[in-house]
Structure 1
């Protein structure tokens, strides 16, 4: 069953023993400078300690505290709309962190940021601070398989609003729908789902097409964690490599498009698997011991404090665009 890397949320929250050991450390002050899309999130300065057990961590949003901040976090979407505070005297040792949850093709021109940032806060596992879209926590007690929801009526389902012919996922969908029936929801299909209806609707599907709109390293979004895993539909995935999925997902819990010689072969496999209750349920066995957690914005900022002691004393991304473009 899942190894150490699956416990990312529990591991992120210090145990009481660890907290006590580190309690004498000086506070780390994280300043969130700009937010995505102009949204703001309110939370107390001691949130990281109260909610996650991470000590000595102060998260602030007042720009007047710039000179006190150990780390200043700039969301990529925010700094593409406003200027960086280059006119302010930057305290010695202060680190600037570049944060994005988007793959490289949607991050704009990063050449303008050459030599400015010391840290990356990113969904990639090789970032200085990794902020995945989802993860797993152990269940308090094992869930009997007979209690796992079983009300399947549709073979394959997909939710899509942004449909473009050039996307690989669109091409795979067209080939797959020629082999097996695919129930499509979302704006593109003129069948939008209200948030409260999303998971109940997808729970009636044997398989969900967790197709990312971009092929990128470690880019595994809520399409897997929420739409598939939380609904109880077995995900058919497309986006990151098989190896990237294997690094974070429970064993034998997903089906990757790249594991088949053709989309036609994939379609045949899905039909066969849906008719084989024993083998289909093997893809759901992980749900007996694990549950999905979707981290919020506050959790992401607290991770910077958690990783702070391991940051190198001096590091600069001279070519942020090159780093972001790694495939």
Structure 2
């Protein structure tokens, strides 16, 4: 018996056994990963751009928000886009996207190599003109604009869309049962010189307002924010910018989505009506004073049938929100992929920062 064990433990037999075991394990690994499982399809952005791909270089991650660079096709049905943050591909990129927020205080990190003749530089910005500093150096730097304004090259913003026939309104009228507050406001950015702050200070003298946000030391989560809007009859959709074309934010579209009536302060009513049904919101300029607005809100609180009229738009329309910044980048790539013509944009500062001069 001892002789038999010695034979088995002989170095030659151990070597043969070890080699055989390794070959068996390698065989099982290859079988599992390449026979039983389907071959993984590599999308262009994971490897290298296909021959006919449109290359869009993100010079910075917009607002430092990272996302899947391969999502244009799967999420937005946009084919042929190769998104990258690799600056080594600058000379091959069909477009370079630069978010204004990343250069507003430092222009030293812009591309230094000459721009290829086929390349478009895309200026992306979605903050208000009133709270964005003009930069003389970018006046004639870009040839494509990506913005919320109707006259931008690439327009992207929340919209009121016509419903499909089978779309069911899941908010109204059921949401009425949840409303136990009259007027609400969530605000963090506070400045006593802002028109919205001055208006609020007058309005609160005539009506009770439930306030939340960092300024009131009541920070809210996204879930809490949605709950607040659902339980309030009216929401103060007060922008910090007035007299600039087409500027309005989620401050009006979120209440519309969640079943609260927005009370808008910001751009003139006629600009709001370009994007929102006129009977879906209340504008502060409809009233001669904050006191008159408060009286109107209090009267609607007592007249439920009149209040319901602010929801009639929901029978035919719904709100389409935008996924920032992923959708913005994909739409930019779609634009340069389909629009091949030579393009120049002059006077960026005048176009974006000049105040409204007429009602057009």
Match of 1:124 in 2: 149
Q: Which moved more, 1:99-108 or 1:160-169?
A: 99-108
Structure 1 CA distance, aligned partners of 2:77 and 2:162?
Answer: 16
**Structural mapping, 1:137-286, within 5 Å:** 138=163, 140-143=166-169, 145-215=172-242, 216-226=244-254, 228-286=255-313
Measure, in 2, the Cα distance between the counterparts of 1:313 and 1:298.
26
Q: Does structure 1 residue 106 correspond to structure 2 residue 135?
A: no
Q: 1:65 to 1:176 in 2, by over 3 A?
A: same
Q: Which residue of 1 aligns with 2:12?
A: none
Q: Match of 2:123, SS?
A: strand
Q: Higher relative contact order at CA 8 Å, sep ≥6: structure 1 or structure 2? A: 1
TM-score normalized by the length of structure 2: 0.76
1:73 to 97, 112, 116: 97
Which segment is superposed worse, 268-277 or 102-111? 102-111
Moved more, 76-85 or 244-253: 76-85
Whose Rg is larger? 2
What is the rounded CA distance, in whole Å, between the counterparts of 1:289 and 1:32 in structure 2? 38
Could you tell me how far 1:92 is from its partner in structure 2? 0.8
Q: Equivalents in 1 of 2:169, 2:138: separation in Å? A: 49
SS at match of 2:237: strand
Partner of 2:344: 315
The answer to whether residue 54 in structure 2 is matched with residue 28 in structure 1 is yes
Contact 2:159–2:275 under 8 Å retained in 1 = no
Counterparts of 1:261 and 1:136 in 2: how far apart (Å)?
A: 32
SS in 2 for 1:210: strand
Q: Whole-Å Cα distance in 1 between the matches of residues 174 and 207 of structure 2?
A: 29
Q: Does 1:326 align with 2:350?
A: no
Tell me how far apart the structure 2 counterparts of residues 270 and 100 of structure 1 sit (CA, whole Å). Answer: 35
Q: Which whole-Å CA distance do the structure 1 matches of 2:315 and 2:301 have between them?
A: 20
Hey, what does 2:23 align to over in structure 1? Answer: none
TM-score where L is the length of structure 1: 0.84
Is 1:64 the counterpart of 2:92? The answer is no
1:150 offset after TM fit, Å?
2.9
Once the two structures are TM-superposed, the CA of residue 182 in structure 1 deviates from its matched residue by 1.1
- 1:258, CA displacement in angstroms? 1.4
- Residues 325, 305 of structure 1: CA spacing in aligned structure 2 closer, same or farther, 3 A cutoff? same
- Between the aligned partners of 2:57 and 2:219, the Cα distance in structure 1 is 38
Q: Assess, with a 3 A threshold, how the Cα gap between structure 1 residues 320 and 146 changes in structure 2: closer, same or farther.
A: closer
1:83 aligned counterpart, secondary structure: coil
